[in-house]
Amino acid sequence: MFTMALKLPSRDLIASFDSSDVDLADAQTLPPECYTDADFYEFEKEALYYHEWLCAGRESWVKNPGDYFTTNIAGEPIVVARGRDGKVNAMSSVCAHRAMLVAEGSGNTRMFLCPYHHWAYGLDGKLTGAPAMEKTCNFNKEDHGLTRFAVEIWHGFIFVNFDLDAAPLAPRLTDVSDAISGYDLANADGDKPDKPGVFPWNWKVMFENNNDGYHASKLHQGPLHDFVPSDLAEFPEADPADAGFLRYNGTLHADASFNATQKALLPVFPNLSDADRNRMTFANIPPTLSLVMMSDMVIYLILRPTGPETMEQDTGILVAPGASKHPSFGHKMEMNMVAAMHIIDQDMHVDELVQVGLRSKFAPRGRYSWQEGAQIQFNRWLIKRYRDAYDRLTSPKLTAVKGAA
């Protein structure tokens, strides 16, 4: 998916990442242009989105054969569907004829019919019908299906990869999987979120905010958050080659949850360890999925950039299996969400103003507190992929191919 017109970052910018890829005590934040520059965003799509595993949604959104939903990640329209064989498929929703989208929204269908010229596709993306094409030379339906993507299901989340040769996801998430196994997320209850939120900031601003334990006791100080103090933050080591990383934050009492009582109101996930019940766990699978995990509720964020300074996000809730069937569930969830939305509103206000600040000619490359250990893990994850992409795109072999083109 390499674009010939792609403008690569300067060597100086790539070299400047070195100071963000050192020990936390010595590190600087990433250069501001990584959050604002249109050319860098195009490079980032090649470095991250065209080759990494991207969370598209939950497997429960396509429970039955024929169920489908659509999404758009970094400008690429995607349709996810469960086939008659029970397999989950992910494809480009761009018609192979004239680029009309063959699917919108979500629902259940026998096939995807392009409304423009009625080319028909199976739930696996294969072209099954193309009216009035019998006079077209050398036209074979087998060659004109929807572009298929790699699919992997991880803890009930559907991941897609545009790169069919990409290494599998799960083997690079063993530490994260072990840490969250008690939540049994594959079987957790949770409805499909409504319309995604649309936000005027770079996706990394959102991802960093969700990883930032440093601000919790400052921005969120008060009875809705003081039981999760910043000085109880922990940052397990992670290999930048892995697909994700963790952050823990200890709580002042067991089964802490975001509501006015500070305690879990919903049924606790039944398989949690004592350690799980005395902390909040933040599991991150960049660039698209971030999990905030409490004893009775998991908030998941599916992040999708729409430009260098804009993004949209699905925000969903998962609870213990069967919890949503209890008669008092709606009332208790409402109590949780009143507190959660108060905290989220504070974060949104900060995210918007951080993006404004990043545009300034005076935007700094700041220093980190020890309570920002997850930020250095995120930096290392990003920088490895930025460097790998830069090296790949400036390799003599690729340069020769570009010259020949």
Backbone angles phi, psi at 397, to 5 degrees: -65, -45
Tell me: do 104 and 204 sit in the same domain: no
List the beta strands (DSSP E) in 216-287.
Answer: 233-234, 245-250, 279-285
15 located within any domain: no
405 located within any domain: no
For 298-325, how does the pLDDT look when each residue is reduced to its tens digit (9 = 90+)? 999 999 999 999 999 999 999 999 999 9
Average pLDDT over residues 191-216: 94
Among residues 144, 161, 178, which one ends one of the domains? Answer: 161
Backbone angles phi, psi at 102, to 5 degrees: -95, -5
Give the three-state DSSP class for 198.
strand
Mean pLDDT of the chain: 95
Tell me: do 143 and 286 sit in the same domain: no
Tell me: do 93 and 219 sit in the same domain: no
Tell me: do 208 and 296 sit in the same domain: yes
Number of domains in the chain: 2
- Which percentage of the chain shows pLDDT scores above 70? 97
Determine which of 2-16, 200-214, 246-260, 328-342 has the lowest per-residue pLDDT on average: 2-16
For 120-132, how does the pLDDT look when each residue is reduced to its tens digit (9 = 90+)? 999 999 999 999 9
Q: pTM for the full model?
A: 0.95
Q: What is the 3-state secondary structure (H, E, C) of 40-78?
A: HHHHHHHHHHCCCCEEEEEHHHHCCCCEEEEEEECCEEE
- Contact (Cβ atoms closer than 8 angstroms) between residue 270 and residue 36: no
Q: Residue 154's domain is classified under what CATH number?
A: 2.102.10.10
- Say yes or no to pLDDT of 230 above 90: yes
244 located within any domain: yes
- Say yes or no to pLDDT of 404 above 80: no
23 located within any domain: no
- Say yes or no to pLDDT of 405 above 70: no
- Write out the residue range of the structural domain in which residue 132 sits: 54-161
